């Protein structure tokens, strides 16, 4: 399935490429850091920063964009998206920014154009709630975390 998504480069991201899929069957588009070329962001261990991407999008109704960590950055450096997955609603028109956190043991430098996260466009189901006085029984019942095994 292919969706048309309107995208706008902001002034501070005008020279960066648009988000792109890195392989033919990739689910996520890579997002790049739009930090100034002469002002990289250094994340010390445990530190976090809101990193601009220099883009804004207009999603079709009934969709969302999910901002997720890049596995390579997570494995190699402990760098991840703080609220993963972050949700961009279809009616949001501001800049996409990525809250990164360094869970690693060494500082990580975020430089201009660095691929910092991935964005997945997904369909959204909206719920209508029907209040009831009881719920149907299941084998799991009210078993919570860890109740289905280790």
The per-residue pLDDT for range 13-63, each reduced to its tens digit, is: 999 999 999 999 999 999 999 999 999 999 999 999 999 999 999 999 999
- For the chain, the structural domain boundaries read 6-123
Rounded Cα distance between 137 and 122, Å, is 31
Helices (H), the chain: 71-77
Rounded Cα distance between 66 and 119, Å, is 5
CATH architecture of 6-123: Distorted Sandwich (2.70)
Query: For the segment 101-129, what is each residue's pLDDT rounded down to a tens digit?
Result: 999 999 999 999 999 999 999 999 999 99
Q: By the 8 A CB rule, do 33 and 53 touch? A: yes
Q: What is the pTM assigned to this prediction?
A: 0.88
Q: What is the pLDDT of residue 150?
A: 61
């Amino acid at each position: 399935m292919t969706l048309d998504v309107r995208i706008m480069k902001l002034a501070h991201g005008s020279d960066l490429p648009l988000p792109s899929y890195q392989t033919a069957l990739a689910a996520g588009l890579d997002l790049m850091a739009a930090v100034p070329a002469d002002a990289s962001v250094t994340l010390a261990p445990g530190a976090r920063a809101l990193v601009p991407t220099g883009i804004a999008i207009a999603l079709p109704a009934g969709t969302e964009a999910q901002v997720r960590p890049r596995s390579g950055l997570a494995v190699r450096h402990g760098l991840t998206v703080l609220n993963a997955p972050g949700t961009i609603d279809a009616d949001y028109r501001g800049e996409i920014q990525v809250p990164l956190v360094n869970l690693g043991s060494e500082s990580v430098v975020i430089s201009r154009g660095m691929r910092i996260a991935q964005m997945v466009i997904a369909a959204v189901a909206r719920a209508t709630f029907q209040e009831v006085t009881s719920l149907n029984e299941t084998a799991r019942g009210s078993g919570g975390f860890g109740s289905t095994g280790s």
